[in-house]
């Protein structure tokens, strides 16, 4: 199968690695040449590390990388059987992209979005054939995280969700079918997880390192809410919170916080920018609980 991935950031690069590892021919596209080169180097380094650890052979790493083509030309998507988009979380930008992509790909090509929070129906609505549109939502980092939400829109043709679920399963993932509601399953549960943690911080009940420590050491979570928000990126995470809040008709349960909004406005996106709730500068001393 030939799969086109659009957006080569944190998610797109991971998705390209997952599908290339599964044996598919992959075209990875980004409008930003630097992002594309960074993604290619990142995937190569990730495959090499797996080979060094003995998890895959050096030949398998080379073959997997050989199945990947980096491109800035969407015209190369003309033989894709699935296009999976992981660009900026903005409805009109995603809609515009699919209007263009749909003109180039075969009629049978499945179109999918990795959106965290936008309605699948609203992206599908931009397409001439919305019945072939579906949400396939991975978690970060995609090569590691098992869970994938498969989200049919009201327009999606009968049977496509099950086909996509089986396909995702064949990639070694654990897909679940989710309804096209704001945040789907995990991001809906996650909003109060982040929101309450920030409220506890704002009310001065505990500092962020203590909250993260309590949830990881005592609560069994792999990452605490502040470390996780910094990992995801406040540009992405804040936008998702705004979108889920608006999509639930401004239900106060999902209200975003000014604390996170200010980090977002300042460009303190977390790990990717070197500073978020915590500092990731090489010489930074992390607060201890």
Strand-pair partners of 33: none
Q: Of the candidates 62, 88, 189, 205, which one interacts with ligand NAI according to CB under 6 A?
A: 88
Contact between residue 86 and residue 117 where contact means Cβ atoms under 8 Å apart: no
In this complex, which beta carbon is closest to ligand NAI, that of residue 110 or of residue 228?
Answer: 228
CB of 112 to ligand NAI, least distance (A): 11
CB of 172 to ligand NAI, least distance (A): 18
Determine whether 32 is an active site residue: no
Evaluate the omega torsion of the peptide bond into residue 148 and state whether it is cis, within 30 degrees of 0. no
CB of 204 to ligand NAI, least distance (A): 29
Instruction: For residue 11, state whether it binds ligand NAI (rule: CB under 6 A).
Output: yes
Closest-CA residue to 41 (of 23, 17, 19): 17
And the tokens for 261?
């909004």
Distance CA 118, CA 90 (A): 8
**Annotated catalytic residue within 113, 114, 116, 117:** 116
Instruction: For residue 200, state whether it binds ligand NAI (rule: CB under 6 A).
Output: no
**Annotated catalytic residue within 113, 187, 237, 243:** 187
Helix (H) / strand (E) containing 177: strand 174-177
In this complex, which beta carbon is closest to ligand NAI, that of residue 109 or of residue 120?
Answer: 120
Sequence length of the chain is: 289
Q: Of the candidates 20, 86, 161, 164, which one interacts with ligand NAI according to CB under 6 A?
A: 86
Map the footprint of ligand NAI across residues 155-174, applying CB under 6 A: none
Vertex 276 angle, CA 275 and 277, to 5°: 125
Determine whether 48 is an active site residue: no
Instruction: For residue 232, state whether it binds ligand NAI (rule: CB under 6 A).
Output: yes
Instruction: For residue 111, state whether it binds ligand NAI (rule: CB under 6 A).
Output: no
**Annotated catalytic residue within 8, 89, 137, 242:** 137
Q: Following DSSP, what letter does each residue of 182-236 receive, concatenated?
A: TTTTHHHHHHHHHHHHHHHHHTTSS-HHHHHHIIIIIT--SS-HHHHHHHH-HHH
Distance CA 130, CA 139 (A): 24
Residues 42-81: x where in contact with ligand NAI by CB under 6 A, - otherwise, as a string: ----------------------------------------
Distance CA 90, CA 78 (A): 25
Instruction: For residue 229, state whether it binds ligand NAI (rule: CB under 6 A).
Output: no
Q: Of the candidates 2, 17, 21, 115, which one interacts with ligand NAI according to CB under 6 A?
A: 115
Instruction: For residue 84, state whether it binds ligand NAI (rule: CB under 6 A).
Output: no
Provide φ and ψ at 284, rounded to 5°. Answer: -70, 140
Distance CA 287, CA 279 (A): 10
> Where do we find the tokens 């919170």?
241
In this complex, which beta carbon is closest to ligand NAI, that of residue 32 or of residue 78?
Answer: 32
Chain residues binding ligand NAI by CB under 6 A are 6-12, 30-32, 35, 86-89, 93, 97, 114-116, 137-140, 232-233, 236
- Residues annotated as catalytic are 116, 137, 149, 187
């Amino acid at each position: 199968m030939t799969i086109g991935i659009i957006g080569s950031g944190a998610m797109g690069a991971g998705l390209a690695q997952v599908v290339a590892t599964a044996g598919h021919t992959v075209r990875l596209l980004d409008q930003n040449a630097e992002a594309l080169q960074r993604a290619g180097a990142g995937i190569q380094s990730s495959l090499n590390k797996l080979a060094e650890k003995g998890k895959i052979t050096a030949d398998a790493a080379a073959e997997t990388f050989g199945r990947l083509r980096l491109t800035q030309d969407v015209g190369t998507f003309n033989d894709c059987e699935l296009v999976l988009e992981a660009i900026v979380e903005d409805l009109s930008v995603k809609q515009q992209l699919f209007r263009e992509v749909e003109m180039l790909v075969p009629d049978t090509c499945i179109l999918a979005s990795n959106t965290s929070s936008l309605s699948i129906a609203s992206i599908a609505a931009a397409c001439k054939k919305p019945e072939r549109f579906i949400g396939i939502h991975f978690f970060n980092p995609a090569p590691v995280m098992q869970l994938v939400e498969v989200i049919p829109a009201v327009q999606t043709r009968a049977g496509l969700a099950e086909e996509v679920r089986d396909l995702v399963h064949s990639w070694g993932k654990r897909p679940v079918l989710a309804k096209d509601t704001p945040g789907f399953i995990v991001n809906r549960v996650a909003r109060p997880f982040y929101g309450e943690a920030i409220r506890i911080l704002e009310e001065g009940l505990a500092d962020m390192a203590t909250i993260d420590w309590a949830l990881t050491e005592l609560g069994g979570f792999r990452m605490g809410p502040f470390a996780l928000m910094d990992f995801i990126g406040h540009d992405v995470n804040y936008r998702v919170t705004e979108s889920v809040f608006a999509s639930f008709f401004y239900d106060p349960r999902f209200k975003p916080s000014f604390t996170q909004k200010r980090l977002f406005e300042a460009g303190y996106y977390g790990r990717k920018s070197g500073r978020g709730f915590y500092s990731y500068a090489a010489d930074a001393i992390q607060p201890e609980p």
